[in-house]
Amino acid sequence: MSKIPEIYGSMVFNEHTMQERLPSATYKDLMKTIQKGEPLNLEVANVVAHAMKEWAIEKGATHYTHWFQPLSGITSEKHDSFLDPTGDGRAIMSFSGKELIQGEPDASSFPSGGLRATFEARGYTAWDPTSYAFIKDEVLCIPTAFCSYTGEALDKKTPLLRSMSAIDEQAKRVLALFGEHVDRVIPTVGAEQEYFLISEKDYAKRSDLIMTGRTLFGYSPLKGQELEEHYFGAIRPTVNEFMKELDSELWKLGVSAKTKHNEVAPAQHELAPLFTNANRAIDENLLTMEKMRLLASHHGLVCLQHEKPFDGINGSGKHNNWSISAGKTNFLDPGETPMDNLRFLVFLTGVIQAVDDYQELLRMTVASAGNDHRLGANEAPPAIVSIFLGDELGAIVDALVDDHEYTSAEKVAVDLGVSVLPNFLKDNTDRNRTSPFAFTGNKFEFRMPGSAVNLADCNMVLNTAMAKSLKDFADAMEGKTGEEFESAAIAYIKETLKKHQRIIFNGNGYSDEWPAEAERRGLANNRTTADALPAYVAPESIKLFEEFNVLSEVEVRSRYEVKLEKYTKLMNIEVRTMKRMTRRTYLPAINKYATLVANEINELKSAAAGIDTSVQDELLKKVTDGIKEINAALNDLHEAHLEARAIADEQEKANKYAHEIVPKMERLRAGVDAMECVVAHDLWPVPTYNDILFYC
Ligand code: ADP
Ligand code: MG
């Protein structure tokens, strides 16, 4: 099993390769850029570009690309070959520092939310040296940021990097108060990716899956997940072959794919990598998603990354494990000594403040047409943001808030003077799977993101909101040292926790009582994407982003527009697909069955006089009634759809889809699904859930 070390990172221009291939002065300069964010000059870039090209060519690369994340959320690439004709009929392979640092894709077809007029379509991509370049399918991929010529970010990576700088700067101020000085504070992320695998043959027969990524129709399968036999079950051979190839491809790309298993729903699986810095973790997650989609075809499979491909069984999420660290120190790790504990409480309080103050902004980052089917559907946390701390930590926070003695799990009373803060054990944090934001020992796990989302948005908000908490603390403590600092810090923690206690909820997030209780606490419950998106452009959000130079007001507004449009466009596609399938796929089949039953009745009647056909008559009535209901639901949806399409204001249009059209879609679906249980299986025009979910 020496295979993993052999292949791991073999296609990545990582630190080891850089050290091997770059002159030591260049290597040092580059490391300063990577580790401390210092700017890189063109001379150094030229040397790096040359070494990168030589390395890539040795590995079989013929092209390079600036790999970036436009606002559509997925990654983009345009391949340029290294080809450089010499003028005498021959060619050499060339790649300059300038080509490494900057690219100019024609950007007119990427969403920009009105930021960039089409006549001024040029945007530019800029090398992000903090994420490694890698080779994928003979193409050297250079992770880049994507901006307009006027400097506005047109991508997901740029604001994420800016938010990482913000948290770095503010966390260092806080650490300085503790007498700690570090090179760079970075947020870390580990993204657990859930997905479905189904057979290509079934997929090809369902235009809803092809067009929208989810089944718009389909009666519940005869068995769902109630037997709990799939979760962690033996992995079937086809899936296993897929997973093996996936692991090996990801390892080559330096993605530390660590855990793989079957998930709760039939045909559902998960892959979790080891965590790394937020920027690279997100690049790696996007790469993982891409590899999953592409490699599935080698095994006759299709990988579904939609948040809710099948109704009635669990959808797919992407848990965002998040912490803040410098070197080997994790600031959300309770630590061993009292001072570590105080520092931990400062960071913990910061998170609680951040999540409470910007709960709606955080909720906004995971809003999408697909995730609307997941949040609050008894399988994923509700659309209400709250924090789970666990019994032990919860009790400590209660003690701090109420100013009383804290009794640890071992029933030892300790007072909360800083020097005797308890050493609570990680294992005491029991897992509450229903919480959207749970403390899990030394990190928080944000469980609202859906499987399809680019995690850059939620991490950008988390980092920026956390930078704000840390800044508030550092501002308040400025100039204080020693015991004065310690007691002021404790007083600050107590007061802040008191103010934000409402966001902590250790109970069952799936219960019916929680939304009512949350409302009493004044917590937001933005159930749909249409309700969630306005938080992006709320004055306090714009203020936050501007204060930390993460997004300008113009950038915020353009992003809101892009998200709104994406939502209404997707909804429009879903409705069109539904109407088309109803008219051209389902109704003809159901009508055919009605005719078949009618003919059967006639045949029976002519076979023997006086024969009782009441059962067949009833069936015929059921089917013709079903057809009637489907037609009524279809017309109703059609009317509302036309009205929605005529609305000019995007927010209004989104509201119409979310609140009026979705229920009509559900009605139409119910009508068709009811017939699925009646019409003969061999006449049913598409593979059913029973057909799709249990064969691979
Ligand atoms: P589970 O949640 O399934 O029990 P783990 O707790 O082991 O699994 O980790 C889940 C994910 O969290 C993994 O991707 C892991 O690398 C990541 N993770 C662990 N520690 C941190 C951290 N300090 N920061 C960010 N992610 C982390
Ligand atoms: Mg987890």
Nearest partner of 422 among 345, 330, 503, 504, judged by Cα: 345
Quote the ligand 1 centre to 325 CA distance (angstroms): 14
Task: Output the pLDDT for position 417.
Answer: 45
- Centre of ligand 2 to C-alpha 446, Å, is 9
- pLDDT at residue 74 tops 90: no
Q: Where among 527, 551, 575 does a domain terminate?
A: 551
Whether residue 226 is contained in a domain is answered as yes
| Predicted confidence band of residue 120 (pLDDT cuts 50, 70, 90) | low
CA torsion sign for 550, 162, 533, 472 is: negative
Write out the H or E segment, with its range, that includes residue 136.
strand 133-136
Better-predicted residue by pLDDT, 114 or 472:
472
Q: Among the atoms of ligand 1, which is closest to the Cα of residue 441?
A: 6
In a domain, 560, yes or no: no
573 is a domain residue: yes
Residues 125 and 186 in one domain: no
Domain total for the chain?
Answer: 3
- For residue 159, tell me if it sits in a domain: no
Predicted confidence (pLDDT) per residue in 76-107, tens digit: 888 999 999 999 999 999 999 999 988 887 66
- The yes-or-no verdict on residue 368 having pLDDT over 90 is yes
Together in a domain, 593 and 547? no
Same domain, 139 and 277: no
What's the CATH number where 21 sits?
A: 3.10.20.70
pLDDT at 118: 46
Average of pLDDT values for 428-439?
A: 76
Looking at the structure, tell me whether residues 333 and 438 fall in a common domain: yes
pLDDT score, position 63:
96
Report the nearest-CA residue for atom 11 of ligand 1: 190
CATH code for the domain in which residue 378 is found: 3.30.590.10
How many Å apart are CA 265 and CA 389, to the nearest integer? 28
Residue burial 215-227, b: 16+ Cβ < 10 Å; e: rest: bbbbbbbeebbee
Give the pLDDT band of residue 620 (cuts 50, 70, 90): very high
| CB of 271 sitting under 6 A from ligand 1 | no
Q: Is 321 in the pocket of ligand 1 (CB under 6 A)?
A: yes
- CA–CA separation, 363 and 529 (whole Å): 9
In angstroms, the Cα distances linking 160 to 93, 164, 279, 556, 583 are 34, 6, 7, 13, 45
Confidence of residue 410 (pLDDT cuts 50, 70, 90): low
Using alpha carbons only, how large is the chain's radius of gyration in Å? Answer: 28
248 falls within a domain:
yes
Question: Is 619 inside any structural domain?
Answer: yes
What does pTM read for this prediction?
0.94
Q: Is the CB of 322 under 6 A from ligand 1?
A: yes
Are the C-beta atoms of 586 and 552 separated by less than 8 Å? no
pLDDT level of residue 302 (50, 70, 90 thresholds): very high
Predicted local confidence at residue 415, as pLDDT: 42
**Cα gap 256→7, rounded to integer Å:** 12
Does ligand 1 come within 6 angstroms of the Cβ of 275?
yes
Indicate which CATH number applies to the domain containing 689: 1.20.120.1560
Residue 111 and residue 189 in one domain: no
Structure tokens at 513: 């009582």
Least confident of 325-334, 378-387, 684-693: 378-387
**Ligand 1 contact, 204 CB (< 6 A):** no
- pLDDT class of 207 with cuts at 50, 70, 90: very high
The whole-number pLDDT of residue 264 equals 84
Start-to-end Cα distance in the chain: 28
Domain assignment present for residue 500? The answer is yes
Identify the three-state secondary structure at position 648. coil
My answer on whether 149 and 168 are in the same domain is no
**Whether residue 272 has its Cβ less than 6 Å from ligand 1:** yes
Looking at the predicted structure, is the pLDDT value of residue 499 above 60?
yes
User: Nearest 5°: phi and psi at 458?
Assistant: -70, -35
400 and 493 co-located in one domain: yes
Q: Which residue has the tokens 């059921």?
A: 622
CA 197 – CA 696 distance, rounded (Å): 7
Q: Same structural domain for residues 392 and 434?
A: yes
Q: Are 266 and 221 in contact (CB under 8 A)?
A: yes
Residues 547 and 573 in one domain: no
Q: Tokens in use for 590?
A: 């159901």
Contact 374, 317 (CB under 8 A): yes
What distance in Å separates the CA atoms of residue 365 and residue 163, rounded to the nearest whole number?
A: 14
ipTM of the complex: 0.95
Please tell me whether residues 257 and 335 are part of one structural domain. yes
Averaged confidence pLDDT in the chain: 91
Residue 652's pLDDT band (cuts 50, 70, 90): very high
What is the mean pLDDT of the segment spanning 506-525? 92
- Percentage of the chain lying above the pLDDT 90 cut: 77
Looking at 125, 153, 181, the residue that finishes a domain is 153
Ligand 1 neighbourhood includes 276 CB (under 6 angstroms): no
DSSP annotation of 660 = I
Choose the weakest-confidence range: 53-62, 463-472, 505-514. Answer: 505-514
Q: Is 310 in the pocket of ligand 1 (CB under 6 A)?
A: no
Q: Cα separation of 575 and 579, whole Å?
A: 6
Least confident of 110-124, 262-276, 579-593: 110-124
Report the candidate in 179, 497, 458, 184 with the shortest Cα–Cα distance to residue 347: 497
| pLDDT value for 450 | 97
**What's the pLDDT score for residue 226?**
77
* Same structural domain, 148 and 291: no
> Do 209 and 680 contact (CB within 8 A), yes or no?
no
Q: Which of 75, 132, 138, 76 is nearest to 254 (CA)?
A: 132
User: Cα separation of 604 and 599, whole Å?
Assistant: 8
In this prediction, residue 103 carries a pLDDT of 87
d(CA 12, CA 493): 44
Q: Which domain holds residue 102?
A: 3-153
Show the DSSP H helices in 512-551 as ranges.
513-520, 529-532, 539-547
Q: How far is the CA of 324 from the centre of ligand 1 (A)?
A: 13
C-alpha pair distances (Å), 187 with each of 167, 329, 371, 627: 8, 12, 25, 56
> Do 24 and 64 sit in the same domain of this protein?
yes
What was the pLDDT predicted at 107? Answer: 66
Q: Which of 506, 526, 551 is the last residue of a domain?
A: 551
612 domain residue, yes or no:
yes
The per-residue pLDDT for range 607-617, each reduced to its tens digit, is: 988 899 999 99
Stretch (H or E) spanning 69: none
Output the residue whose Cα is nearest ligand 1's atom 14: 190
CA nearest to 270, candidates 230, 313, 237, 301: 230
Structure tokens of 277?
Answer: 């810095």
